[in-house]
Structures are given as structure tokens and as C-alpha cells.
Amino acid sequence: MMKQGDYLNGTYRLLEEIGSGGGGIVYKAYHERLQTFVVVKKMKEQVKGLLDSRAEVDILKNIKHTCLPRVYDFLQIGGEIYTVMDFIPGQSLDKVLKQNRSIPQELILKWMTQMAEALAYLHSQTPPVIHSDIKPSNIMVTPEGNICLIDFNISLVFDHSIRTSSGISGGYSPPEQYPDFYTCQTCAGGERGSREEPGGTDGLVAQIVGRGVDERSDVYSFGASFYHLATGVKPGRDFERMVPAGQSRAGLREGLSRILEKSMELLPEERYQNGGQLLYALRHIHELESEYQNSRRRRKRKKICLAVLFLSLLLALAGGFWAWQGKKDAAYGRKVEQARESIERQEYEAAAGLLAGALKLRPKRLDAYECEVLRRYRQGEYEACIRYGTDFLQNTSYQVETEGDRQLLGNIYYMLGNSYLEEEDYPDAEQYLKAAIGQYGDNSLYYRDYAIALAKQGRADEAEAMLKQAVSLNLGEDSIYMVQGEIACVKGNFEEAREYLLRVIASTAEEHLRKRAVLLGDRAYRELGISWIDEEISFLEQEENRAGGAGSAMEISERLADAYVRRAESEEGDGGEYYRKALERFEALYEKGYAARQMMENIAVLREQTEDYEGARAMLLQMTEQYPEDYVGYKRLAYLEADLQQSRENADRDYRLFAEYYGKAKERYGDVGDDQEMSMLDVMMRDLEDGNWL
């Protein structure tokens, strides 16, 4: 039995018991390292033994949304499993309801939209995260006036065979959440002790009970919770006697009533199918109202037929105009949503076509522009992302009207800042990440990458201050370790940096963050020196095998090839084995289209090291064709030719080809530059001329 003052896992200090229920006792605790309050709760019996699935754990530990608590940890203590989540301050909606005060419909719509955003996020996970217990007591109103959905049923994430939720909240749970018709009727009315012949609505309910919960169950409970808030009447537990929202005495806006009624349809197939559809309906609520169709009905009839016809024409035009606008909005929303789905599937060309079509429909809306910046960023086209994004910001007339618009604009600045980070332009990265925070200051990732941009410029103290800001916004542990690794590198503490970066790799499920940690970790190994080379190689080999995405794998392979070369050069012998390994990596990259000049030069040098002289010559000649104005290919050919002649008997040597390559390299190199290898070629040429070898 836990008690006040106990420590869990040496990290969480229990402060007080704040509740209990089917899942066990709930405690408020203090996260000593992050210096923040958390909630510790015992998980349900069904979850025991299911924590082996790292993918499922990662889904929950990487949930990041302003309307959801952050999952910090899963602990197994004395045969019990506990979750550690954010402590959300504020007041639950059931307490708001008990105050019997009228809540403006505008505020209810704001909270409904925030909740729908949270559900859309949860339902878009792979697999979907089902809350399964949405009710007013699980919806917190924070001191800032926003809502947060707490206490989701984690067992439904870990075990998808748990089709019925162990908890049923009368009035808020949908019919399918009950295990059978008898239980449903007993819980609903409390007065039926036996099965009824299915007929009418009861027959419909009988068809639904026992199906088990899915995303549509969350939609029903969402509707029931906000039905209670909007009408002041708790939803009836007899489903067939439910008074539709539009027939209540609350005088609800037509669009709001329709959304609540559709959310609470008995048949799951007739509800919104997930949080994404629900969110779309709320953002387009005007499309559900008949205001425009009825706006002209109060006009007096004209006595003259022509006037009546003219008025009818005006009404038709007006109605047609607004209907057309509504269709445009709906088509725009569908195209942007489909484009985001295409980006997630890495179908970037398809996304580009959808976004071009969306922008033709609504050229001032931000959604499509933000999605286009995301498309280029996800493709790794950082220069193109910067060009497109900066041109958009400077030359496009766009609308910023809502909190959602500010978040979208913040995301655009954020992705531009990260593109500059990838291009190693740290001052510009700092500028755009600071602008992202200015647009939307509640995103901890903005502060994380702003701290990294500062650290890259050697401003460790400022980076640490930004990290504290990010932690106060519930920055994830993996991101905290990443910034700490960057700061340690700046301070020259490379062993400490290595430890932080290995923690990032062990804890993160975010591929982009893992890649950053791997590349910075490799830099730390390099700085630690040749004594760490074997550990560096082992580290890079492991990451190459699991790298997510072609771009990540190629960059890690290039780093690994370079490490093999350094390992070969440290050998007392010829290092042939490591030269061959390096050559294999470089040639594989070249075949995949990674044909940069440096790559071709590396392949040529390694072919010569492994005594494949003709292969080296072929690559260098190809290099001179691809980069005809560059001197490096001819410089390498001159060195190769010199080495070949040195291996022959004096009588068999012929330096004319060397002289030809030297001349072409010299012509392209000019008189400026500080390439020491060119200076050495000058000396070799003078020696050959003085010795009458030409």
C-alpha cells in the first residue's frame, strides 16, 4: 500500500490521494527531476503482462497535445502496473454543471472544438487510441479557460481484444459499450429485470449492444457530455426516450444541435466515424444551418409580377452563392486532409497535386500553405522549403483569424527554422524559431529547437534558459536529453553529450529526433578521438540497420564509411578490411543516386587504396565529365597517374599523361586557393622537368 511521502522508481514523490475508482487509487505526486506535478494511477487488471510491446508504450509516451495529459512513465511495482501522467489543474465539467450556471454557446463550441481536436489526434494514432470513458468528470477546464481530456482507458491501447470497456458511465456510454442487452436495459432504466422482445427502438438497441467500443463510441460520449453542458439536462439512460438537442428548451444554435444529434445517433454507422470527421463538422458548422435559405422569406411580396420574379432571382442567386461557397469550403477541407494523409504515406507528388487544387479554391486560407511547407520539409528538400516558405510569408496575402490559424502560422515558422538548422544556418534558424514562439507560445517543441539553435551558436546559457521554458510546457524526456546533449557539446563535455544522446535514441519514437541524436552522437565520438573509434563504428552499424527512411539511412551510411576510413588509417598494417567496408558503403550510396562530387572522390581514393586502379580511373573520368569546370577530378587523376608510374621500373615510366592531367587541374584551379595537394603537384612537376622525365 503506497502512502504519502513514498518514492516510486526514485523519481516520483507521492503527495496526496486525490481519488479512487475501478482503476485503483489515484495520487498526486511530484516529478523530482522535471520539477512538475504528476498523477500516479494503478492500471486495470487486463493490462498486466502487456507492457512487452514497445510500440504500444511508445504510442502512449509520445502523445503530445495541448488538450491531453502527457504520459510520462509505466511502472511495475509489487505485481501492479502504474501510469504516471500530467497533473491537470482546474475544475472538471461535472463541477461546472453542479453550479447551475448558464454557459455561453460560443464557449461551449470552443470547448467542443478543442475536445474534437484531441479526439482527432488520438484516433489518428496507429493503432487508434480510444478513450472509452468521456464524461464531464473526465473533462477539465484549466485556469486558462481551455479544456483537457483526462483518464483515457489505456487498456484499450495495449490489448485490442478488450472490446468492451470495463467501466460504463450511465447516460454517457453508448449502447455498444454495454456487454449485453439485459445489462443495457437494467443499467438504463433500473426497472426492467428481464429481456424484452426486440422491437422499435429497443430492437435497435438490442442489435447494437455488445459490439464493443471503437472511435465512434468516443464520438457518442463526446456528444452526450456536451448535450448535458448545452441543455443542462443529463442524457437519459433510456435511449428511446432521449429528447433531441434541437427540441430541448435551451434554444441551441441549429448547427450545434445537429452536431450533438448526429454524434448521439444510436447506430454507430450514422454518427461521425472518428474525431477527424467531428472536428471537420465543427469547423464548418455554418454548412449545417439554414440561415441563408431563410434569410429572404421575411420580405414583403411585391404586387407587380416582375418585382416578384426579380426578388426570386435575387434569392436564388444569393442561395446559390452561399451554397457554392459552402461546397468550396468542403472541397478545400477534403483536399487538405487527403494531402496530409498522402504526406504520412510519403506520397509527396500526390500531396502536391491535392494542395495545388486546394489553393485554387481558397488562396487566403493557411491550411494548404502550411501543408505544402510540411511536404517539402518531410521530403528533406530544405532549400526548397525555405524558398517556398519565405516567399509565402513575404508575398502572399493570407488570413489569421483564429487560434488555429496562429498555430498553423507558428508551424510554418517552425519548419522554416528547422530547415535552416538542417542547412547549418543557425542565425536564420534562431530568427524563425523565435518568430514561431511569437505566433504560438504554447508549443514546447518550438522552445526545444530554439534552444538547439542557440546552442549551435555557442550560447549555452541562453539555451539552458530556453530549455527551462520548454520543460515548463511539458517537453518530453527525449527532447530534454537532446537539448542537454547539444549544450554539453557546446561546452566541450563530449562524454556527457554522448550519454545524453544515447538516452535520446533509447527513449524516442520520433524518427527525426533520433536521426539528430545519431548524427550529433557521431560528432561526440569523433571529438573523443581514435580510442573511441570501435565503439563509434558499432554505434553507427546498429543505427544504420534500423534507420527509418532512405535519407536517414544514407546519411548514417556515409558517416559509417568515413569511420571505417579513419579506422583503416589507424591500423599498423594496411587496413585493407576497413577500406573495403568503406568502399562498399560509398558505392552503395552512389548506386542509390547519392552522386555528389565528394562521394565520387571518396570512391576513387578507396578503389586506389584497394588496388583497383582502373576502377579508380573510371570513376575520376566520370567525375570530370559530371563536373567539367572543377579541378579536383583532374588533380586526383594526376596523383593516380603519378602513383602508377612510381610502381614501374625507371625505364618503363611515362609521365606524359600525368602532365596532361596536371595541366588541366592547374588551368581550372588558377592562382588563388590554399589546396596543399595542388602545391605538392607543383613540386612534383618541377622535379619531373628538372629530371628530364617528360
Average pLDDT on 305-313 reads: 57
CB 213 within 8 A of CB 165: yes
Average pLDDT on 638-667 reads: 93
Average pLDDT on 195-202 reads: 48
**Domains of the chain: which residue ranges?**
7-86, 91-289, 614-694
Q: Inform me whether the pLDDT recorded for 40 exceeds 60.
A: yes
Confidence of residue 211 (pLDDT cuts 50, 70, 90): confident
Q: Inform me whether the pLDDT recorded for 63 exceeds 80.
A: yes
CB 576 within 8 A of CB 568: yes
| Range of lowest pLDDT (4-18, 118-132, 189-203, 458-472) | 189-203
Confidence of residue 512 (pLDDT cuts 50, 70, 90): confident
* 168 vs 170: CA distance, rounded Å: 6
Q: Inform me whether the pLDDT recorded for 258 exceeds 80.
A: yes
Average pLDDT on 283-292 reads: 74
CA distances from 330 to 320, 326, 327, 340, 567 (A): 15, 6, 5, 16, 59
Average pLDDT on 556-577 reads: 86
Instruction: Return the DSSP state at 493.
Output: -
| Range of lowest pLDDT (293-302, 333-342, 362-371) | 293-302
Question: What stretches of 529-612 show up as alpha helix (H) in DSSP?
Answer: 533-546, 550-570, 576-591, 597-609
Confidence of residue 169 (pLDDT cuts 50, 70, 90): confident
Strand (E) or helix (H) holding 58: helix 54-61
Average pLDDT on 431-443 reads: 93
Average pLDDT on 292-309 reads: 48
What is the overall mean pLDDT for the chain? 84
pLDDT given at position 322: 46
pLDDT given at position 344: 86
pLDDT given at position 598: 87
Q: Inform me whether the pLDDT recorded for 192 exceeds 60.
A: no
Instruction: Return the DSSP state at 15.
Output: E
Tens digit of pLDDT for each residue in 461-509? 999 999 999 998 888 899 999 999 999 999 999 999 999 999 999 988 8
Tens digit of pLDDT for each residue in 212-238? 889 999 999 999 999 999 999 998 777
pLDDT given at position 298: 46
Tens digit of pLDDT for each residue in 114-157? 999 999 999 988 788 888 889 999 999 998 899 999 886 654 55
- Percent of the chain, pLDDT > 70? 84
Q: Inform me whether the pLDDT recorded for 85 exceeds 50.
A: yes
CA distances from 599 to 310, 461, 523, 565, 590 (A): 74, 38, 19, 13, 7
Q: Inform me whether the pLDDT recorded for 52 exceeds 60.
A: no
pLDDT given at position 56: 54
Instruction: Return the DSSP state at 261.
Output: H
Average pLDDT on 161-178 reads: 71
Query: What kind of fold does domain 7-86 have according to CATH?
Result: Phosphorylase Kinase; domain 1 (3.30.200)
Residue by residue, DSSP assigns 640-653 as: HHHHHHHTS-GGG-
* 67 vs 147: CA distance, rounded Å: 6
CATH superfamily of 91-289: Transferase(Phosphotransferase) domain 1 (1.10.510.10)
Average pLDDT on 159-186 reads: 68
pLDDT given at position 653: 93
pLDDT given at position 300: 45
Tens digit of pLDDT for each residue in 592-621? 877 688 889 999 999 998 889 999 999 999
Q: Does residue 652 or residue 293 have the better pLDDT? A: 652
